[in-house]
Amino acid sequence: MAIACIILTVCGFSFSMGMTYPVLALVLEHQGFSKTQIGINAAVAGLGLLCSAFVLPQFARTYGYRLLIIGAGLGGGVVLLTMIGIDNFILWCIARFFLALCVAGLFIGSEAWMNELVDDHIRGRVMGIYAALISITFAAGPAVIPWIGYLPPDPFLLCAAVVCLSGLVALPMKHWDIKPQSEERASLISIPKMAPIIMLAIVAMGFFEAAAFGLLPGYVIDRGFDADLAAYYVAALAFGSFLMQPLIGWLADRMDPRRILIVSAFISTCLCFSINLADLGHWYAFVLIALLGGTTFGAYTLALTSLGRRFKGEVLAAAMACTAVAWGLGGMIGPAVAGPAMDLFGSDYLMYSMASIFIVLMVAAFIRDKARST
């Protein structure tokens, strides 16, 4: 029951983030900001997530995961309400930073809490289901946009309500609450040395998520299509992740996750190049986008499974905080690289930029795997 409540909490968060990524991109484009500015705004969200890793663990040690999640949900809802009247780029960046900082509590708290409760023999499958439900609720966010529009206030009111409710789901869970009890800074510093490929996989996922969800709407519009189709493509990206994560989690319980990671990175690279050649007006382009969402998010499922198996207690909490740093770092780099590349060289460089990070991950994971085998 506790695991189900935790997953429900993060599903509300993922729905809201799935909606706010394309909504903010479309609103900023509607207000006349450039792709570079839209990319910078998305990168600020990565900065907020990165900073949260140095603030939220201390809060969890003092008050527990339950109050962390409740406070994060309420704080995120308040920030979303303040976004309704913003039309200044600096204010957009400030609001985006605090939104990421607040809702990261749902993200970090739920994953650390859940990993403490899951048994190792079913960890891959539980994480696969967890990632799949995150993905389908993430997909539901942009799918709602054609029905309610992307201009304020409606999408911001809906997201604020969902984020607040996501935090309040933790109210009856006091019996299962956990407080990390020891100082985690040394562990936080040592995690990348202990699990460098896992951390690189999280960086790649953060890079992809921020670049894809922040700039894919503009990519589709630049290819000659409207905002509604752009929102459906974002939904397809997340829907593909939903379909594939249980399979990836099932495989992770039976095979070496490192080998699966190499294959996923290779397929993701090929798909990024293929999408630039596809006609976005045909159904097969949706299939390519959906497959890309599945293989890229698979890196995150594999990382969570591996971390939960390797670390326990306060070290696991530190590892979860470290994933937020890695995700935030990737989230800063991705749109900061892809946005200017699109402005300078054309929209196709969104896909080229994302392919590059998966090439790096694939090569690094292959070299690490070979070194361990010899």
- Written as one string, the DSSP assignment of 119-149 is -GGGHHHHHHHHHHHHHHHHHHHHHHHHHH-
Q: Tokens 């361990």 — which residue?
A: 372
Helix (H, G, I), strand (E, B) or coil at 308: helix
Residue 188: pLDDT band with limits 50, 70, 90: low
Residue 184 above 70 pLDDT? no
Residue range 52-60: average pLDDT?
78
Neighbours of 177 (CB within 10 A): 16
For 22, 144, 145, 243, 337, the CA distances from 229, given in Å and listed in that order, are 11, 12, 10, 21, 25
Q: Which amino acid is at 203?
A: V
Token pair 């590349």: residue: 341
How many CA atoms lie less than 13 Å away from 238 in the CB half-sphere? Answer: 29
Listing DSSP states for 6-26 in one string gives HHHHHHHHHHHHHHHHHHHHH
Please give the DSSP secondary-structure letter assigned to residue 175: G
As a whole number of Å, the end-to-end CA separation of the chain is 44
pLDDT of residue 186: 44
- The percentage of the chain sitting over the pLDDT mark of 70, rounded to a whole number, equals 95
d(CA 66, CA 171): 7
Q: What is the mean pLDDT of the chain?
A: 84
User: Residue 151 CB: number of other CB atoms within 10 A?
Assistant: 13
Going by C-alpha positions, the residue among 197, 202, 192, 188 that lies closest to residue 301 is 202
Measured N-to-C along each axis, helices 196-222 and 349-373 cross at an angle, to the nearest 10 degrees, of: 160
What is the model's pTM? 0.72
User: Rounded to whole angstroms, how far apart are CA atoms 208 and 206?
Assistant: 5
Residue 356, pLDDT score: 94
- How big is the CA angle at 324 (ends 98 and 286), to the nearest 5 degrees? 90
Q: How far apart are CA 196 and CA 202, in angstroms?
A: 10
Q: What percent of the chain has pLDDT over 90?
A: 23
Q: What is the pLDDT of residues 89-127, one digit of tens each?
A: 999 999 999 998 888 888 778 877 887 777 777 777 777
